[in-house]
Copies of this chain bind each other. A is one copy, B any other.
Amino acid sequence: MSASASEIIFLGHCPDQVGLDARITGFFAGELFNILDLSQHSERGRFFIRIEGSEEGERQSIQTWTEKFFPIARELNMEYSFHDPLERPRVVMFCSKTLSCPLEIISRWLSGDLRIDLRAVISNHMDIDPVVRKLDIPFHHVSTRERTIDFEPQQLRILDRYNPDLVVLARYMKILSGSFLEEARIPILNIHHSFLPSFIGNDPYEQAYRRGVKLIGATAHFVTRELDEGPIIHQDVVRIGHQFSVADMKQVGADIEKQVLASALRKFIERKIIQWQGRTVVFH
């Protein structure tokens, strides 16, 4: 949760060494910045830190903070970013025929629960069109029947127009090519309808039924070139019993997958996620 009085969020990671916390918090103290919440974690020689707090001195822009910190970051070989918690990330959502996931995002955006700026919806099907049109959300239908090298450039041109901070794949049923990922150059959040790494691939519910599992789950992860292998952000499961048919499992699966996607998206909005080498650090 974000401390409500927070005005700046800082995220950074770099090679670990003695004295990093002192160096970084010393910088903030020098700027009369009051740290309300700090989490720092080190593993395998890598140092991860998240700071949020309020400016007791004069208000400074994200730009100014970023510039002022630059010399320290260069010295520490640190990747870092500053964020304004009031600024909503710009999001473009991809979907297909399944409505429950994209509608969850839309409904949480409408209610103010997810503080995003939902710029547009892109789909390879028309199913969501009537709803998004009524709600005045820009909608783009891009058919994926043709060859990938034909429709992906179209999608990229649309993305370009909206300049999003994040793409959310809300049960978009097409695999993005490596060249798409390269050109898009922004994080892409996906929901997988199983508890990865169980039941990768198609029809996880049929697999789960035959295996007689007692829990089914969902996994939100960043998309990488390796299908179903991107860094996991959030997972959850729901209990099922013998009396659940495959259709029943799909229904409760749809439920848990949309909640997992929304939770992961909230962590992104709160700037609590750092990706590093196939894993994520997700601060509390």
Query: What is the interface of chain A, defined by CB distance below 8 A to chain B?
Result: 1-4, 16-23, 25-26, 28-29, 32-43, 48, 56, 99-100, 103-104, 106-108, 110-113, 131, 134-136, 195-199, 210-215, 217, 231-237, 241-245, 247-248, 251-252, 254-255, 259, 278-282, 284
Contact = CB atoms under 8 A, between A and B. Distances in A.
* Residue among A1, A131, A254, A255 facing the most chain B CB atoms (10 A cut-off): A1
Given A22-B22, A111-B103, A211-B232, A247 B4 contact: yes
A208 to B, nearest CB: 9
Contacts of A103: 107-108, 110-111
A102 to B, nearest CB: 9
List the 9 shortest-distance A-B pairs measured between CB atoms, nearest first.
A1-B248, A19-B29, A212-B279, A107-B107, A21-B25, A22-B29, A38-B40, A100-B111, A22-B25
Can you tell how many copies of this chain the complex includes?
A: 4
26 contacts: A1-B245, A1-B248, A2-B248, A3-B243, A3-B245, A18-B32, A20-B35, A22-B28, A37-B42, A39-B39, A39-B40, A100-B111, A103-B107, A103-B108, A103-B111, A107-B107, A110-B131, A134-B135, A134-B136, A212-B280, A214-B282, A215-B235, A215-B236, A241-B282, A259-B259, A284-B284
Given A41-B242, A242-B281, A29 B18 contact: yes
Q: Summarize A's interface: helix, strand, loop or mixed.
A: mixed
Given A106-B107, A211-B232, A43 B242 contact: yes
* Residue among A41, A104, A243, A245 facing the most chain B CB atoms (10 A cut-off): A243
A195 B279 CA distance: 19
Given A32-B18, A39-B38, A213 B232 contact: yes
B41 A1 contact: no
A7 to B, nearest CB: 13
Nearest to A20: B35
A32 B1 CA distance: 32
